[in-house]
Structure 1
Amino acid sequence: MGGEIPYLPDVMNRFPTPGLKSRSGVPKILDTSAIIDGRVVDIAATGFLEGDLVIPEFVLKELRHIADSSVDLTRAKGRRGLDYIQTLQELPSMHVVITGKDYKDIDEVDLKLLRLAQDMKGAVITSDYNLNKVAILQKIPVLNVNDLSNAVKPNAIPGEVFEVEILRKGKEADQGVGFLDDGTMIVVDKAKGRIGENLGVEVTSVLQTPAGRMIFAKIKE
């Protein structure tokens, strides 16, 4: 499971005044989805994150519960999340702190997380769509890993040409679907019968959706 996670001093003791900044930047509180997702490790390694990374014990408890699941895939996700925490702790540029602060009057982990963020005047790091929305409604700063991932993907413009492998058929007649190296989906017109082929395609339009960017293209003549 990646070894036992060392317990660090309660972060609330290090913030005697609500909102007091540690090092530089406000504290960033990690939720379960962001930890399991794992991309936060790569982001932290680049040095783009400032301030402490805070992991509440109630999030650790949820991760341990997931890691003990009888379902293989769920158990693997939980154990991977615990390994990611250890990796974060080993990054020389980051300071990971674990807080025992809890809210016994709140049952739901996400709501506990938001209360903690309010008390610390910190920001929440998540990849959970619903938690992101609730945080925005409560005017709590939120850093969505999916939004960051989409933001750093190269822009595509109509007329640009790519080479892409057609992997499966699309939803509409005659469409084929492929993916760029960064995971962006390309829907190619009249490519349904070209599955398994690498095709030169020309971008016709780009659609930004809540799930990410989608590129529409035609086969390059």
Structure 2
Amino acid sequence: MLKKILRGLFTLIGGVLGYILGAWGVSMEFVSKLGLSKIPLAPVIFVVFCILFVGLIFYFISPVLNSGIIKSMEYLERSAQKVPVIDIVFAGVGALIGLVISVLLSSLIRIESVIFTIITVIVTIIITVLCADICVRKKDEIMHVFSNLRKTGVKDSKNKVAVDKGCPKVLDTSVIIDGRIFDICETGFIESTLVIPTFVLDELRHIADSSDSLKRTKGRRGLDILNKIQKELSIKVEIWEGDFKDIKEVDIKLLKLAQTLNGKVITNDYNLNKVAELQGVPVLNINELANAVKPVLLPGEVMNTVVIKDGKEAGQGIAYLDDGTMIVIEEGRKFIGENIRVVVTSVLQTAAGRMIFARPKED
């Protein structure tokens, strides 16, 4: 149906062009120059001939033109499907701004010249494309600015400014696979929005499709954790669909996103933590949180524990707290498998965690 409509349209365009060509020929007295002026209604016949001739030419070449138009439409449709809607919207807004700027500039300078007209058209195209590109590249910053303005202007029923519960928390791949973020959110300690970038989801899917069984298990565990967070928790989860195409590393993209959203990155990656500190990006480290909430024991405190195994040194026994903290018990080897009372002698904090030294309590 589309091909028939286009063919008819091209034939009509050909007829119009033939009429224009015929009228121009009559005005230039081509009929008399061809020696046809003695024929009755020669000008009319000449115009009709031009209409039919040009119309038929366009009719026969219309399949080629149709094929080119349809292929162009299909290419544009495929390209548009790959571009996020938000990019198209911002590109349109940027192009509109560029056109307005171009019109204002051209209205200030009025020179009646063909060269000036051509220059004006070229400058208008350049400004329009430039503004559209800037809007697409800076869309995250623009959205963040308008979001802050909206939050600032929102007031409650008592005419008090509504209080924001906190800055967005951007999740990285390692903390999603770790899984403890679900338990932390379930306790209610995190109230602000969790932001999950699409490039993190792509990395998770890539890990889940890995040929290595361990990586595949980790990737699927991460996807399961995200599903549980979205379905079982009341916390708001936002999928950020943008990307920083000029940045290749996912960790650097995370830090850039946190800066853009004025948020914080939640991770348990030691290297990412250090890079974030260098760039001044706030980071919430799950491992640091786990160490912080472990019970504080002071030298001299007494507690009950079960000796699990012998230690590295002669006579030592090893026990563990419920949170996994290791207890090294002097002369505790002989109590393996028994529940005994011990006295804390010292506490050692290391990068790997906390270690407690104790000795059996003498009755």
Structure showing greater relative contact order (alpha-carbon pairs closer than 8 Å, 6 or more residues apart): 1
Letter in 2 for 1:16: H
1:211 Cα deviation after fit: 2.0
Structure 1 pair 111/169, CA: closer, same or farther in 2 (3 Å)? farther
* Equivalent of 2:144 in 8, 12, 16: 16
Q: Note if 1:139 corresponds to 2:267.
A: no
Query: Which of the two has greater strand per residue?
Result: 1
Letter in 1 for 2:144: P
Alignment of 1:44-55 (within 5 A): 44-55=185-196
Which AA in structure 2 matches 1:175? Q
Output the CA distance in 2 between the equivalents of 1:23 and 1:34: 25
Partner of 2:32: none
Q: Structure 1: which 5+ residue stretches go unaligned?
A: 1-8
Matched, 1:69 2:234: no
Answer yes or no: is 1:178 the counterpart of 2:319.
yes
Q: 1:30 to 1:19 in 2, by over 3 A?
A: farther
Please tell me whether Structure 1 or Structure 2 has the larger radius of gyration of its CA atoms: 2
The residue that corresponds to 1:121 in the other structure is 262
- 1:149 aligns with 290
- 2:229 matched residue in structure 1: 88
Q: How high is the sequence identity, in percent, across the aligned residues?
A: 59
> Do the aligned partners of 2:144 and 2:261 also contact (CA within 8 Å) in 1?
no
State the secondary structure of the residue aligned to 1:94: coil
Are positions 1:102 and 2:230 aligned together?
no
Q: CA deviation at 1:174?
A: 3.0
User: In the comparison of the two structures, how many residue pairs are matched?
Assistant: 213
Give, as a single letter, the amino acid of the residue that structure 1 aligns with 2:265.
V
Instruction: Answer with 78-87 or 60-69: which moved more.
Output: 60-69
CA distance in structure 1 between the aligned counterparts of 2:247 and 2:146, rounded to whole angstroms: 20
- The Cα shift of 1:92 comes to 4.3
Across the aligned residues of Structure 1 and Structure 2, the Cα RMSD in angstroms comes to: 2.6
Deviation at 1:210, TM superposition (A): 2.1
Query: What is the alpha-carbon distance in structure 2 between the residues aligned to residue 155 and residue 14 of structure 1?
Result: 46
Per the alignment, residue 42 of structure 1 pairs with 183
Spell out, residue by residue over 1:95-122, the C-alpha distance to the aligned partner (whole angstroms, 9 max, x if none). Answer: 1111122122222211111111111111
Relative to the length of structure 2, the TM-score reads 0.54
Gap change, CA 1:173 and 1:105, over 3 Å in 2 = farther
Task: Give the conservation status (yes or no) of the 8 Å contact 1:52–1:95.
Answer: yes
Higher helix share: 2
Q: Which amino acid aligns with 2:219?
A: G
The answer as to whether partners of 1:19 and 1:120 remain within 8 angstroms in 2 is no
Question: Distance in 1 between the 2:301 and 2:147 partners?
Answer: 47
**Which residue of structure 2 lines up, in the alignment, with residue 206 of structure 1?**
347
CA drift of 1:42 comes to 1.1
Structure 2: state its 5+ residue gaps: 1-84, 87-138, 152-162
Q: What is the TM-score when the length of structure 1 is the normalising length?
A: 0.85
